[in-house]
Amino acid sequence: MKNSYVVLLLIFILTSVQAQKNKFNLLIGTYTNSCESKGIYTYDFDTNTGGFNLKNTTDNVVNPSYLAVSKNNNYVYSVNENGPESTVSSFGYNASSGKLSLINKRSSKGADPCYIINDDKNVIVANYSGGNISVFGKNSDGSISEAKQVVQHFGKGINVQRQEGPHVHMVHFSPDRKFILSNDLGTDKVYSYQYNPNAANEILKIKDSISVKSGSGPRHLTFSNDGKFVYLLQELDGALTVFSYSNGILKKIEETTILAKDFKGTISSADIHISPDEKFLYATNRGEANTISIFKILKNGKLLSKGQISTLGKGPRNFAIDPTGKFLLVAHQYTNDVVIFKRNVTTGALTYTGKRIALCSPVCLVFTKN
């Protein structure tokens, strides 16, 4: 009888451990000025079922539209997109409970920060309306210092409504962390900066820049894991450009589009990510399309279109693929939900699970360990 209890106990423990392995935290950053939102939400996400449960929320955090999590999973950094009053915030993060506790915040040193990254030394922010990049030091308690460096972009593009000046839309580490790439929607350029994490003030030093098609508006990019290719999504014309990459230098090798052949409406490309197995690339289009495009990645880094599907909402801003690659989640800024798709790991195809997270103006999705 005693042995039976031991066996049952072991089965229970193993089952619990296995169940925990299938769970990740899902952090969601939102806009708080268009509907009722508390800021950042933490959900428990099950990669076996696509199910979710709300774990925790912040309170009265203004427009935490983009988030970054520290490598040790103890801190979360957010932009607070609020025009000239914009800030950058640091939070202590208890992954077990999902609770976020504000540590401190600093001026973003540029209006409307829209992207944020971090490593052990620095927090780096792209300021869209400010047209600049701000670099903040990290303290041992997770707090951020005053800005150590502000890199201002200059210039404009041919689209008088959207490109009247520089609009830095992203900062992104190269896989080897030796460079940071930055897309500027306003100047139709991608800038490459040498990254010196321990420098006192010149943390970013310009290495190169490359121009893309005038009026295309580079928005987001992603690297292949081996660092040999960069995929750049242009917001204003739906172009998707493939570059070879080496030591901070980009060279264009192909350009395709995320648009369906018969699409005639307003274009507003948004986000781009590669599946964990590196076999497929996905990119969203807002505007009048509200679609996600699927591409197979070929061995030479080029892309083969597998078509588009509806994201089943309006304003597919950000999306994320869970760490197992089984699910793809799309955040809809205007229909106030996150739609959960099942991903076929063999074909790349997406199928609606019937599950949605109802949430005010979700903008950023980040998976973390729980």
pLDDT tens per residue, range 215-237: 999 999 999 999 999 999 999 99
Instruction: Please give the average per-residue pLDDT across 317-346, as a whole number.
Output: 98
Q: Mean pLDDT across the chain, nearest whole number?
A: 95
pLDDT value at residue 21:
75
* C-beta separation of 345 from 315 below 8 A: no
Q: In this predicted model, which residue has the larger pLDDT, 222 or 2?
A: 222
pLDDT of 9 above 80: no
Rg (CA), the chain: 21
Taking residue 20's Cβ as centre, other Cβ atoms within 10 Å add up to 9
pLDDT of 243 above 60: yes
- Residue 20's pLDDT band (boundaries 50, 70, 90)? low
Instruction: Please give the average per-residue pLDDT across 142-170, as a whole number.
Output: 98
3-state DSSP assignment of residue 3: helix
Token representation of residue 323: 């760490």
- Residue 2's pLDDT band (boundaries 50, 70, 90)? low
**Type of residue numbered 3:** N
Provide the total of helices (H) and of strands (E) in the chain, helices listed first.
1, 28
- Residue 336's pLDDT band (boundaries 50, 70, 90)? very high
pLDDT value at residue 6:
57
pLDDT of 185 above 50: yes
pLDDT of 13 above 60: no
pTM over 0.85: yes
Instruction: Please give the average per-residue pLDDT across 20-49, as a whole number.
Output: 95
Instruction: Please give the average per-residue pLDDT across 250-260, as a whole number.
Output: 97
pLDDT value at residue 11:
55
Taking residue 174's Cβ as centre, other Cβ atoms within 10 Å add up to 19
* C-beta separation of 241 from 232 below 8 A: yes
* C-beta separation of 116 from 133 below 8 A: no
Cα-Cα-Cα-Cα dihedral sign, residues 235, 241, 247, 248 = negative
* C-beta separation of 181 from 190 below 8 A: yes
